[in-house]
Amino acid sequence: MKLYRPSMMHALREGGTWDVCIVGGGATGLGIALEAAASGLRTALIEGRDFAAGTSSRSTKLVHGGVRYLEQGKMALVSEALKERDRLMANAQGHIDDYGFLIPVKRRWAQCYYGLGLRLYDLLAGSHRWGRTEWVGRREVIQRLPHLAEAGFIGAWRYRDGRFNDAELALGLAKTAAQQGAVLVNHCRAEGLIKKKGHLAGVQAKDMVTGDTFALDAKVVINACGPYSDALCRLDDPSHENELRPSQGIHLVFDADVLKGDDALLIPKTDDGRVLFAVPWLGKVLVGTTDTPVDQLDLEPLAMEEEISFVLDHANRFLGLQLKREDIRSVFAGLRPLIQGRKDNTAKLSRSHEVSATPSGLVNVRGGKWTTYRKMAEDTVRYLRKHCGLEFTPADTASLTLEMGSLPPRGMHPSDAHQLASAVKQAVEEEMCLTVEDFLARRYRTLFLDAKAAQRIAPEVAQLLADIRSKDANWVAGEVRSFTELANHYLPAHTP
Ligand SMILES: Cc1cc2nc3c(=O)[nH]c(=O)nc-3n(C[C@H](O)[C@H](O)[C@H](O)COP(=O)(O)OP(=O)(O)OC[C@H]3O[C@@H](n4cnc5c(N)ncnc54)[C@H](O)[C@@H]3O)c2cc1C
């Protein structure tokens, strides 16, 4: 399925009245678009920036049950996520890696404690289990990860979980939703909500490319704006008070050789009770994350200095690594759309999701995580049938194969000029890529893997995009300028 933006925009504007109009094109919105379209509903989705430009391209890249939630007693949450992990593995064939994660331990009591927890993890997965957790003795751990010897570990538990490319899966969901009849447009913002007799009847949309504003009529409007959902609620009711308590998480990216061996690592408890992962990913290693409550919701959240120091310090102390600031290739930050609860500690707020509607009929879908996007979508579409007067037979997406396309694995951009030109063309014509950022952040992951390399290639990508999209030299200069500025935020402050 090819996603071509001009055709999608035409279909959106000429589509008449939609059964559902979804606002937000991250994991939540794209999952709902697929579920609704597969259930036969006339479905439109608008995304203000690019698909997955929000939190959904900034995750730890894990398709997981969430080992750490066991300690909080959230068995149902873990069990549901493990089921979804397995379904996604089957539905996005070849795009989810069954991966080994080591939890190194220093004391016998910790060996017993984490061993019991991981046995429970295996048990909760039931028939969806991916292999059995195993104990790896000190000698083998040292062979796999020599730096752990210096940190004094007696061995490690090795369990299995999934690893994925979040932005790639988002595009796969968009393609599959379009294949099922949904119309999806990126760079198109909801700027207002249309009401008739006090009830929501559509969205006032703005095409961010042309600046045109237009009305989209819809029987139901769904708010899938992730951490930004409270702002959309205020378009419905200006007196709406925040119901989300967003929390920021950052990752530092290093060259692959900082971590010897193939396994990912999990430190189950850092100084303040958080977990820290080191995950080999697309030829680099991601280390994170943090859990910092934030009041201001930037579209491009910035890693704080104390977060960078926290991750560096813990990776070095707990994993025997010797990472330095100058080794950091990229830093990226994302906002968790956590549902409001205790204000002092966002690490303990709910990761489960919630579907509800305002008195005027705006359907809000909040919380959740990437791994459970399909379950969130299923619950949302069931809610539409029960509470919003839409009649249809819900689809069975639990076994629906996702169209991930036949594109090569997307990590760094192609270094060969000819291959780069054809990759840019394909991204524009088949994946609705419009800007240098769309290409280097989400079609390829260069910005996340190596921000300086992304800055170096940006002028060439801008020129290729301009040739395809008939843009002039001013456009190229503007794109290079804004991308260079953006990429500076992916480099720690001191980087020369
Ligand atoms: C640091 C971190 C690590 C994580 N790691 C994992 C992990 O390893 N595994 C896992 O399963 N989950 C993980 N999660 C959770 C997961 O990434 C999120 O739950 C999920 O991506 C949220 O998706 P979303 O669609 O709700 O929000 P977003 O992805 O933020 O999507 C919301 C979209 O709405 C758009 N939008 C906002 N306002 C408007 C408007 N007015 N008009 C049009 N569009 C609008 C935004 O541009 C945005 O693209 C992690 C989260 C964080 C922060």
> What is the rounded CA–CA span in Å between residue 442 and residue 166?
9
* pLDDT above 70 (res 36): yes
Handedness of CA 163, 167, 170, 171 (dihedral sign): negative
Per-residue pLDDT, averaged over 141-148, amounts to 79
Q: What is the pLDDT of residues 45-63, one digit of tens each?
A: 999 999 999 999 999 999 9
> What is the rounded CA–CA span in Å between residue 130 and residue 224?
31
* pLDDT above 60 (res 345): no
Of the residues 21, 32, 46, 55, which should be mutated to test ligand 1's pocket, given the most ligand atoms within 8 Å of the CB?
55
Question: From ligand 1's centre to the CA of 426, what distance in Å?
Answer: 25
Q: What is the pLDDT of residues 221-260, one digit of tens each?
A: 999 999 999 999 999 999 999 999 889 999 999 999 888 7
| Closest atom, ligand 1, to C-alpha of 299 | 47
* pLDDT above 60 (res 346): no
Confidence category of residue 349, pLDDT binned at 50, 70, 90 = very low
More confident residue, 106 or 495: 106
CATH number, domain 98-162+245-346: 3.30.9.10
> What is the rounded CA–CA span in Å between residue 365 and residue 29?
9
Handedness of CA 270, 275, 279, 285 (dihedral sign): negative
Confidence category of residue 146, pLDDT binned at 50, 70, 90 = confident
Model pLDDT, residue 407 = 62
Of the residues 49, 59, 234, 364, which should be mutated to test ligand 1's pocket, given the most ligand atoms within 8 Å of the CB?
59
Is residue 94 within 8 Å of residue 135, measured between CB atoms?
no
* pLDDT above 50 (res 264): yes
Per-residue pLDDT, averaged over 271-282, amounts to 87
Model pLDDT, residue 406 = 60
More confident residue, 216 or 72: 216
The number of beta carbons lying within 10 Å of the beta carbon of residue 344 is: 7
> What is the rounded CA–CA span in Å between residue 263 and residue 391?
48
Residues of the chain with CATH 3.50.50.60: 5-55+167-241+350-399
**Token couple for 24:** 């937000």
pTM (predicted TM-score) = 0.96
**Which of 433, 414, 68, 362 is CA-nearest to residue 219?**
362
The number of beta carbons lying within 10 Å of the beta carbon of residue 381 is: 28
Q: What is the pLDDT of residues 77-100, one digit of tens each?
A: 999 999 999 999 999 999 999 999
Whole-number average pLDDT of the chain: 93
Per-residue pLDDT, averaged over 312-316, amounts to 91
Q: What is the pLDDT of residues 6-24, one digit of tens each?
A: 999 999 999 999 999 999 9
Q: Which CATH architecture has domain 5-55+167-241+350-399?
A: 3-Layer(bba) Sandwich (3.50)
Q: What is the pLDDT of residues 96-111, one digit of tens each?
A: 999 999 999 989 999 9
Confidence category of residue 269, pLDDT binned at 50, 70, 90 = confident
Listing DSSP states for 282-325 in one string gives TTEEEEE---EE-SS--SS----HHHHHHHHHHHHHHH-----G
Confidence category of residue 261, pLDDT binned at 50, 70, 90 = confident
Model pLDDT, residue 270 = 77
- 419 bridge partner residues: none
Q: Please name the residue whose Cα sits nearest to atom 50 of ligand 1.
A: 59
Model pLDDT, residue 274 = 79
Residues of the chain with CATH 3.30.9.10: 98-162+245-346
Model pLDDT, residue 344 = 44
Least confident of 103-117, 182-196, 476-490: 103-117
> What is the rounded CA–CA span in Å between residue 273 and residue 140?
28
Handedness of CA 72, 228, 183, 386 (dihedral sign): positive
Cβ 247 under 6 angstroms from ligand 1: no
| Closest atom, ligand 1, to C-alpha of 371 | 11
Cβ 246 under 6 angstroms from ligand 1: no
Model pLDDT, residue 348 = 46
Question: From ligand 1's centre to the CA of 56, what distance in Å?
Answer: 4
| Closest atom, ligand 1, to C-alpha of 60 | 8
Model pLDDT, residue 239 = 96
Q: What is the pLDDT of residues 411-425, one digit of tens each?
A: 999 999 999 999 999
* pLDDT above 60 (res 494): no
**Token couple for 81:** 């996520």
Per-residue pLDDT, averaged over 292-301, amounts to 90
CA torsion, ordered 351, 228, 63, 107, to nearest 10 deg: -50
Model pLDDT, residue 331 = 98
Per-residue pLDDT, averaged over 360-378, amounts to 96
User: 426 — phi, psi (to 5°)?
Assistant: -65, -40
Angle, nearest 10°, between helix axes 166-179 and 27-38? 20
* pLDDT above 60 (res 165): yes
Least confident of 151-155, 372-376, 454-458, 480-484: 151-155
